[in-house]
Amino acid sequence: MKALREDYLNNGFVVIPSVFTESKIDELILETVRLCREQGSQLPKTHLLTNETHSPKIYEELSDDELLTHFLALHFPHKMSPLFRSMLDSAELVQYLAELIGPNVKCMQSMLFVKKSGKPGQAWHQDEHFIPTRDRSLTGVWIALDDATIENGCLWVIPGSHHAGVLYPVRPPTSEEYDGAPESFDYPHSPDEAVPVEVTRGSVVFFHGYLLHSSLKNRAEEGYRRALVHHYMSAESLLPWDCGGQIPVTRDNRDIMMVCGKDPYEWKGTEDVLKPYIRGEARSA
């Protein structure tokens, strides 16, 4: 474990292969389909299909593969499903989180990316830009639900780019390669420094909140590059995260879940403010 932490501190990321079993990954994929079918049928068509002639009811009639074609991401799936909630503090993850972050760890976010062939990637960015912590302890956990390859749009990282402790400016993405999420720019790194992070399904990538990372479009002829992503941090730190204006930044965001250790701010209680939602084709993600 000591070597693991050293690699994480030096490079800004580590890969742990085969953390989750094939059966667990199959469970998560089945639950993904269920959520898309169930939640999608309840949402306005403008949130989902680009074809305005379609009714949300159409999701009940599509095959599983056709269904997933219309979705890009599910935000806060742990608030939609007990199975996804159980993933936040799974024993398989907690042993590494305690080593990389510390004995007291809380989680504030989960995202489920459904990236079918032809779907865009995300431009270079730093997660701490979106989820600010006071102690720079933000850690992303990227769980591969499919083999992630260069062809189907695996993660790319710039090793060591977290060392400066600087959040670089952002702008709208400058390439159709990417979705609509903001793009970091004006950072002192060359594209030649980027390396692909190819992993097999069930493997996990842990990465620092200041690490520059991105992904490219899924160029495979068919298939998916699905990934479940969690964000964690030290429970000792306050969380001034407004999540798009839903919570005042002057507050300590208490829409969190403790995953190991003790909560120093337990006296504040927790709250359920941030609402889960699904992003489809009409809202690029």
pLDDT confidence of residue 245: 81
Instruction: Look at residue 94 and tell me if it is in a domain.
Output: yes
> Which parts of the chain sit beneath pLDDT 70?
40-59, 281-285
Residue 44's pLDDT is what? 43
* Per-residue model confidence as pLDDT tens digits over 166-177: 999 999 988 888
pLDDT for res 40: 66
Contacts of 66 (CB under 8 A, 6+ apart): none
In a domain, 41, yes or no: no
Residue ranges of alpha helices (H) inside 54-116 are 64-69, 82-88, 91-100
The CATH number that applies at residue 83 is 2.60.120.620
| Total count of domains within the chain | 1
Residue numbers of the domain that contains 253: 2-21+70-280
**Does residue 243 form part of some domain?**
yes
| pLDDT the model gives residue 70 | 84
In degrees and rounded to multiples of 5, residue 11 shows phi and psi of: -100, -20
44 domain residue, yes or no: no
Residue of 215, 169, 209, 207 whose CA lies nearest to 188: 169
- Type of residue numbered 185: F
Residue 83, domain member (yes or no): yes
CB-CB contact of 205 with 14 (8 Å): yes
Tens digit of each residue's pLDDT (9 = 90 or more) over 105-142 = 999 999 999 999 999 999 999 999 999 999 999 999 99
For residue 29, what pLDDT is reported?
96
Q: What is the structure's pLDDT at 284?
A: 32
Q: How far is CA 264 from CA 14, 93, 103, 197, 269, in A?
A: 28, 21, 12, 35, 11
Identify the helix (H) or strand (E) that includes residue 24: helix 22-40
CA distances from 263 to 96, 213, 267 (A): 18, 30, 9
Contact 181, 73 (CB under 8 A): no
What pLDDT score does 117 carry? Answer: 93
> How far is residue 253 from each of residues 10, 20, 110, measured CA to CA in Å?
30, 30, 15
Contact (CB, 8 A) for 224 and 114: yes
At 41 the pLDDT is 59
- Residue 100 within a domain: yes
3-state secondary structure of 151: coil
Report whether 226 contacts 113 (CB < 8 A). yes
pLDDT value for 38 = 84
pLDDT of residue 54: 46
Residue 50 lies in a domain: no
- Does residue 30 fall inside a structural domain? no
